[in-house]
Chains A and B, each alone.
Chain A
Amino acid sequence: MDELDPLRALRGDVADASAASLERGRLALERHVAAAPSAPRRQTKPAGRPQWLSSPFVALGAVVATAAVATLVIVGTLGISDRHPDSIAGPPPSISATTATPFEVPTDCATIAGSTILTQWAPAFGASTLLSQNDYGPSNGTSGAHVCVFGSNDTHTVLTIVVGALESGPGSRATAEASAAAQGYTRLSDDSTGSLYIEPVGTDPNSAGVNLITNTAWITVGSQGTAQAGDDLLPLLQSWAEDVAQRLHAY
C-alpha cells in the first residue's frame, strides 16, 4: 500500500470552486490588470546608506568553537541598534502582494538561498535594499558565513537574514547539538540527515531564528525587525535553511 493513499482519500472529494467564487476571482483579476501600469517598474538599488539605518547595525553573533570541534560555526544574535521611530507607527507590511513593487532578488543572496523563498518577502518590504556587510559593521570574521540584509525606506522596517555555514569535523554533530541545547535552543525535529532547532525567544516577538545541524554543517537563518510575528516567520526560515543545506550538500 502506498502511504499516500490515505492522504489522497482524505479530502480527496473536495467540491469545485463555486461559480460565484470563480466570478469574484475573475473580476478581481480584471480590476488588478486594468490598474496595472503598462510596463512594470523595475526596482533599482538606491545609492548610499538607507535612511532607516541611522547607526551601524550591530551584533552579529558570536562564533563559538569548542576545542574538540574547532570549525563549527554559530551565527547567532541579530540586532537593530536604532530603528527608525516610524517603524512601529508606519504602515504595516503585508504578505499580500497585490500592491507589490517588482523586486529583483540580489544576485548574491539568490545564489545562496532559493529565490522563490526570498521573493515572497519582497511584497512586505516594498522598496528593499540589499546592504553589503560593510554597511552595518565589521565582519564577524566567520569564514563561510553569508549575510543578506534587507530594509525598506518606505516602511522603515527591516528584515535581516544571516546565513552561516561551515563544515565541521567528523563526529561533531553531537557536540553541536549539545551546544545548541545548552544555549536553550528548542529542538523541533530531528532525523538521520539533520536536526532542526529554534532559537530561544527573546524580548522581540518579531524575531526568529532556526538552526539546522547536519552531519557536516551548522546552518543558521535568522530574521529580526519584521512586521510579522516570529511564529509566522519560522516556516520560511526553515525552508531557507533546508535549501541552504541542500545547496551546500550538507545532508
Chain B
Amino acid sequence: MSTDAEIIERSLTAPAAFGQLYERHARAVHRYASRRVGPDAADDVMSETFLVAFDRRRRFDPVWADARPWLLGIATNLLKAHRRVEARLWNATLAEAARDVVDGGEHPVGRSDDRMDAARAVEALVPALTRMRAGDRDALLLHAWGDLDYAQIAQALGVPIGTVRSRLNRARLQLRTAAPSDISTKSGREPWMS
C-alpha cells in the first residue's frame, strides 16, 4: 500500500490520485473539527482542508509518510475562521454543565455523583480552555482530540518540537490548576468518564 507521501508525490503529475488521501483521512479531519466547532461547521472545515491541501501539496515534506498531522494542521488554521462558532460551542457546553449541577442539587435522587462530577469538571475545564493562549490550546487539542504526538503536533503547526513541549506544559498546568480539587486528587480513571 502506498504511503501518503507517495500518493501526494503521484498527485503532482496525476492530480486525481489525491482523492486517495481524502478516503484515508477525511473522517479523522472531520472528527477533530467536529469536536472543536460541531458537526455542521466541521463539514466545511473537512472539505476546505482537502482543497487547501491539494493546492499546497508541493509543500508537503515527503520525510513524513503520514499526512494526517499535516492535514490536521491545515484544519487547525482553517478553524481560526470559525472562532466564534467554537466559542458558542464552549458556552453551550458550559451552560449544559451548569444545568446539570443545578438540577443535580435540586433533584439529587436519580442524579448520579458521576454526572455531577463530570459537570463540575466541565465547569472548571471550559473557562481554563477559553483563557488559554490560542497556540497552547491548538497544541493541546491536537494532542487530546487529534491524537497527535509531540513530533506530529510540531509538524502540524510548523513549530519546533521544543515549542510544542512548552505549549503543552503550559496548557497542562492551566488545566491542573483549574481542575476541582475533589476530582483532580482522585487517582485512576474518573467514574464520570465511563
Contact = CB atoms under 8 A, between A and B. Distances in A.
Contacts of B67: none
* 10 interchain residue pairs of minimum CB distance: A116-B158, A17-B30, A235-B134, A25-B47, A9-B193, A3-B175, A21-B43, A11-B35, A246-B163, A97-B52
Contacts of A251: 166
A4 B34 contact: no
A3 B58 CA distance: 38
A9 B48 contact: no
A5 B175 CA distance: 10
B60 to A, nearest CB: 12
Interface of B: 15-16, 18-19, 22, 26-27, 30-31, 34-35, 39, 42-43, 46-48, 50-52, 54-56, 58-59, 73, 77-78, 80-81, 83, 93, 118, 121-122, 125, 129, 131, 133-135, 138, 140-141, 143-145, 157-160, 162-163, 166-167, 170, 172, 175-176, 179, 183-184, 186-190, 192-193
B113 to A, nearest CB: 15
Contacts of B43: 17, 21, 24-25
B158 A36 contact: no
B184 A29 contact: no
Interface in A100-149: 100, 102, 114-117, 119-120, 123
Contacts of A16: 27, 30-31
27 contacts: A1-B183, A1-B184, A6-B179, A7-B125, A7-B144, A8-B144, A9-B193, A11-B34, A11-B35, A11-B93, A17-B27, A17-B43, A21-B39, A25-B46, A32-B54, A33-B19, A36-B15, A38-B15, A40-B58, A98-B51, A98-B52, A116-B73, A232-B80, A232-B83, A238-B135, A239-B134, A243-B159
A15 interface: yes
Given A7-B125, A17-B30, A1 B47 contact: no
B189 A5 contact: yes
Contacts of A119: 56, 59
B31 A14 contact: yes
Given A1-B188, A6-B121, A22-B27, A235 B172 contact: no
A119 B193 CA distance: 39
Contacts of B143: 4
A203 interface: no
A188 to B, nearest CB: 8
Contacts of A234: 134
B135 A242 contact: yes
Q: Is the interface of B mostly helix, strand, loop or mixed?
A: helix
A242 B163 contact: yes
A188 B135 CA distance: 13
A28 B30 CA distance: 15
Contact of A17 (B46, B141, B166): B46
Interface in A1-52: 1, 3-12, 14-18, 21-22, 24-26, 28-30, 32-33, 36, 38, 40
Interface of A: 1, 3-12, 14-18, 21-22, 24-26, 28-30, 32-33, 36, 38, 40, 95-98, 100, 102, 114-117, 119-120, 123, 188-189, 191, 193, 196, 232, 234-236, 238-239, 242-243, 246-247, 251
Nearest to A114: B158
Which of B27, B83, B145 counts the most chain A CB atoms within 10 A? B145
Given A8-B144, A21-B46, A120 B77 contact: yes
B81 to A, nearest CB: 5
Contact of B135 (A8, A30, A96, A239): A239
A25 B144 CA distance: 25
B51 A28 contact: yes
Contact of B55 (A7, A8, A12, A102): A102
B158 A117 contact: yes
Given A11-B145, A17-B30, A6 B193 contact: yes
B166 to A, nearest CB: 6
A17 B31 contact: yes
A20 to B, nearest CB: 9
Nearest to B43: A21
